[in-house]
Amino acid sequence: MEKSGRSLCSLVCKWTYSAEKGWDDSFWKMVGLEDLVTDNYSKIGNQVLPPGASLGSGLTPEAAKDLGLPPGIAVAASLIDAHAGGLGVIGADVKGHGLACEGQPVTSRLAVICGTSSCHMGISKNPIFVPGVWGPYFSAMVPGFWLNEGGQSVTGKLIDHMVQGHAAFPELQAKATARGQSVYAYLNSHLDLIKKAQPVGFLTVDLHVWPDFHGNRSPLADLTLKGMVTGLKLSQDLDDLAILYLATVQAIAFGTRLIIEAMESAGHSISTLFLCGGLSKNPLFVQMHADITGLPVVLSKEVESVLVGAAVLGACASGDFASVQEAMAKMSKVGKVVFPRHEDKRYYDKKYQVFLKLVEHQKEYAAIMKGD
């Protein structure tokens, strides 16, 4: 798993520390790190503060000099980058946008931070245990709420891999450059040209992708899984590349749908997606997530939502807001809302059935090869 060191460290901290009891001595001894327990955890510290809490006396003179800032500026307890992205979008004021979540608690929202990989952040007032989804962690993202975190490894990287590895990629690159577009903007416009009268998503009726080229993080939690593509032809022109790109984007959205279903089966109730990160800048990626999950997608006015989340923490530490929840509502702004095409639901329901069959068959093939 990419960034495994950072992820493992953060997970260990969440699993083994509680505000009431402190560190769990038995865990560190079990994994052979009992030296960390000595001297009341002097090596790693023994105090964990909630996100946005003010640290010490603010910026030290030494750090202030290095950064060119005045000493004493408030320094906030920080978050993992994806958690900060969730903080930057999930609390936005959605009044006047026709969204069901306007009259619902913030727990009805799912933040999806999508870039090289995708992280799915859902919060709850009480702990919810979701098989194959990390957590629940108390106050790990929004203070006072429990966090469940689903994820898909290498989503953006998978799209790059499929597009750049295709025989028609040099032609695509040349045409996109000539038009002054990114390859993905060009592919999106090319799909509109070849779709004719049908919805663009219907171009993949015979082409299906299972996206776990790097194993499955959530909700199957199976690192042995591989990618699958069914429906390939001998032709390798630009049309074929565009449709393979579309099928890959759809597969990632189906993976999000699978995570949402797992979370809802365990007790979450999700009515709206809040997307941020590099992939959220791609309108096809956003529309496919809306169509395939059947949920509206909210895009932030400020596309760099991780920075908004960091600003929320700083604003709390400096005393500008009394709570993270208040800062989220004031500092997060809705930029655009993308609604699902409900008339296409039957098509995507059928493709989802195929999607689930792909992993079922992959496991069957593995069982055959391992058999006597």
Query: How confident is the model over 131-147, as pLDDT tens digits?
Result: 999 999 999 999 999 99
Say how far apart CA 341 and CA 295 lie, in whole Å.
10
User: Looking at the predicted structure, is the pLDDT value of residue 15 above 90?
Assistant: no
State percent of the chain over pLDDT 90.
Answer: 88
pLDDT at residue 325, rounded to an integer: 92
Name the helix (H) or strand (E) containing 209.
strand 208-210
Q: How far apart are CA 119 and CA 114, in angstroms?
A: 6
> pLDDT at residue 116 above 60?
yes
Q: Which amino acid is at 363?
A: K
Q: How many CB atoms lie within 10 A of CB 32?
A: 7
Is the pLDDT at 8 greater than 50? The verdict is no
pLDDT, one tens digit per residue, over 280-339 is 999 999 999 999 999 999 999 988 999 999 999 999 999 999 999 999 999 999 999 999
Structure confidence at residue 46 (pLDDT): 84
Give the mean model confidence (pLDDT) for residues 199-215.
98
Could you give the residue ranges of the DSSP H alpha helices within the chain?
A: 4-16, 25-30, 38-41, 61-67, 81-89, 155-164, 169-179, 183-194, 238-266, 283-293, 305-317, 324-331, 345-370
Query: What domains are there in the chain, each with its CATH number?
Result: 1-48 (no CATH), 50-78 (no CATH), 81-372 (3.30.420.40)
Give mean pLDDT, residues 214-223. Answer: 97
pLDDT at 3: 41
> Taking the complete model, does pTM exceed 0.85, yes or no?
yes
Q: In 10 A of CB 332, how many CB atoms? A: 26
Question: What is the model's pLDDT at position 229?
Answer: 98
Burial of 276 (0-12, 13-18, 19+ CB in 10 A): buried
Average model confidence (pLDDT) for the chain? 93
